[in-house]
């Protein structure tokens, strides 16, 4: 058997996403029958099975070949530019040790590809136990938890530099939706339809939401950028986002 045919979308509403992943890993195609009302959505790439219209469901927004190509680009860029970013990493590590003390790095578990958590690395720019009395809180533009001498590290986004090790490890991509914490995602997922879809590709150091949004941009609007990126991915789009990210960093626009 190479295809699984679904005649109703009701199955997908009952934890069907996990099973789609499992069937995809087994090499099976999942096809969903298109209803009359679905044609109003302007669906593309409709297939025909026994005279009935079907669309293929994928657990990822990117076809496997594109996902592999995107991963190859990440590895080539990070390894090829190691002579540039590794010395910078060491210099900022030394600066952080002097002005902020230990620990230099901040490790926080974030949700990545296929809802799997991973340890994301950052330079620590906030006081130790910044969320000790509040729990998980989104960072604000003028956050009083930030160490004054480290404000420029955040403004230039140098605090994200250690995540290049996450890229090498395969946890992250250079460009993609920014990863969030599981406790925050639990709330977003309940209130924002389609939020889990952003986990269909590796999270990134930067993305569309980061170059067009701000710290105080609402998660539902950031999701719009993330989903637009997911369905329109190309190497050229990644290059454009990287160039725009450089402009954002130079202008220190947060």
Q: Does 191 lie in the same domain as 76? A: yes
Q: How many domains does the chain have?
A: 2
DSSP annotation of 51:
T
Q: Does 80 lie in the same domain as 26? A: no
pTM of structure = 0.77
Q: Does 231 lie in the same domain as 122? A: yes
pLDDT of residue 224: 86
Tens of pLDDT, residue by residue, the chain (254 residues): 567 766 666 666 555 566 666 666 666 777 776 765 455 444 555 666 666 666 666 666 677 788 999 999 999 999 999 999 999 999 999 999 999 999 999 999 999 998 899 999 999 998 887 665 555 565 655 678 889 999 999 888 999 999 999 999 999 999 999 999 998 888 887 788 778 878 889 999 999 988 887 767 788 888 888 988 887 899 999 999 999 999 888 876 55
Q: Does 69 lie in the same domain as 40? A: no
Q: Does 219 lie in the same domain as 138? A: yes
């190479």: which residue's tokens? 2
Q: Does 162 lie in the same domain as 114? A: yes
pLDDT of residue 149: 93
Q: Which of 204, 112, 118 is nearest to 167 (CA)?
A: 204
What tokens appear for 106 in the block?
């901040």
Domain holding 118, by residue range, is 64-251
CB atoms within 10 A of CB 206: 23
Q: Does 39 lie in the same domain as 79? A: no
Q: Does 80 lie in the same domain as 29? A: no
Q: Does 171 lie in the same domain as 214? A: yes
Q: Does 142 lie in the same domain as 19? A: no
CA 186 to chain centre: 16
User: 89 CB contacts (<8 Å, ≥6 apart)?
Assistant: 161, 162, 164
Q: What are phi and psi of 107, to 5 degrees?
A: -110, 125
pLDDT in tens, 114-161: 889 999 999 999 888 766 555 556 565 567 888 999 999 988 899 999
Q: Does 119 lie in the same domain as 14? A: no
pLDDT of residue 71: 96
Of 57, 75, 99, the residue that ends a domain is: 57
Q: Does 215 lie in the same domain as 99? A: yes
């Amino acid at each position: 058997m190479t295809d699984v045919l679904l005649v109703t979308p009701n199955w997908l509403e009952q934890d069907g996403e996990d099973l789609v992943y499992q069937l995809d890993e087994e090499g099976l195609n999942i096809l969903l029958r298109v209803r009359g009302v679905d044609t109003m959505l302007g669906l593309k790439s409709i297939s025909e099975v026994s005279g009935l219209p079907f669309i293929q469901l994928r657990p990822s927004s990117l076809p496997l070949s594109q996902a592999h190509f995107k991963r190859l680009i990440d590895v080539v860029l990070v390894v090829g530019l190691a002579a540039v970013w590794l010395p910078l990493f060491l210099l900022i590590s030394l600066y952080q040790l002097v002005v902020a003390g230990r620990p230099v790095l901040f490790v926080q578990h974030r949700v990545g590809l296929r809802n799997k958590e991973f340890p994301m690395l950052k330079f620590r720019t906030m006081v130790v136990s910044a969320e000790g009395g509040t729990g998980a809180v989104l960072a604000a533009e003028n956050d009083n938890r930030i160490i004054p001498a480290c404000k420029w590290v955040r403004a230039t986004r140098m605090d994200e530099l250690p995540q290049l090790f996450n890229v090498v490890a395969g946890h992250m991509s250079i460009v993609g939706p920014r990863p969030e914490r599981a406790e925050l995602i639990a709330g977003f997922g309940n209130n924002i339809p389609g939020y889990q879809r952003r986990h269909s590709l590796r999270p990134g150091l930067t993305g569309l939401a980061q170059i067009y949004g701000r710290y105080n941009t609402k998660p539902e609007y950031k999701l719009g950028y993330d989903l637009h990126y997911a369905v329109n991915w190309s190497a050229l789009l990644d290059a454009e986002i990287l160039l725009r990210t450089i402009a954002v960093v130079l202008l220190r626009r947060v």
